[in-house]
A = this chain, B = another copy of it.
């Protein structure tokens, strides 16, 4: 992000925070968003400080007001700033949140915390999909799926049991991976399988015999469960996964607002 200006007075706080955000994305609005995010998280505008006006930012970055608004929409969606008519935007929090890849990939998440992720493939089988799996992965009757069971560790400590169902075209690739490969997600990306959208459901379940054995907990012990269905850019489901975490190892965090939201609370009818 190239831009240089006066830097006089509190108004101009975020004037030189282009360090970490040089090539945050090809699109201008992403670069602006990254630069502003950097400024906000480093506290350049203060705890509940006010951002410069859209027009001022447009001039500073040498872009149109529309582009600035696009950038600010990103920050608003992430819960970094408020936004209401008539007054400047206000800094809400200094959250981090890279988020999408962190949520999708255990490996990516672990590394972003500086932990050492591990994974041991317990089993991988191929079999016809049952009704629920066909529903989730949008498969034809008789279609086959690949089912993996993996124990995930942080610094060699068991943390999570992962049961994933892949449709055939993805499962074929997974089956060819070495059993000790840490990140399936990254390997699949290399082979052209992209993850772009995911639906998550979070609740509590009790450990079954298999969970207990792998995680080293009692049978019946509570586990935090995350179920996830992931789709590629074309909208085709590529993964249906159920992760069970030992309590105390993770928490899920989400921001929502009247402006943008995609979170909801369900009754537990389904299973």
Binding site for B on A (CB under 8 A): 47-48, 74, 77-79, 82, 84, 87, 90-93, 95-100, 102-103, 109, 113, 115, 138, 196-206, 222-224, 231, 233-236, 247-268
Contacts and interface: CB of A to CB of B under 8 A. Distances in A.
29 contacts: A48-B236, A74-B260, A77-B260, A77-B261, A79-B199, A82-B235, A99-B262, A100-B256, A100-B258, A103-B261, A197-B257, A199-B255, A201-B251, A201-B253, A202-B202, A202-B251, A203-B224, A203-B247, A204-B224, A206-B247, A222-B247, A248-B268, A251-B265, A251-B268, A252-B263, A252-B265, A254-B262, A254-B264, A260-B260
A63 B271 CA distance: 43
A242 B103 CA distance: 23
Please give me the 5 A-B residue pairs with the lowest Cβ-Cβ distance, nearest first: A222-B222, A203-B251, A90-B235, A255-B262, A197-B257
A204 B247 contact: yes
A80 B201 CA distance: 16
Contacts of A198: 255-257
Which of A82, A256, A262 is the most central at the interface, judged by chain B CB atoms within 10 Å of its CB?
A262
Contacts of A252: 201-203, 252, 254, 263-266
Contacts of A95: 199
A151 to B, nearest CB: 18
A200 B254 contact: yes
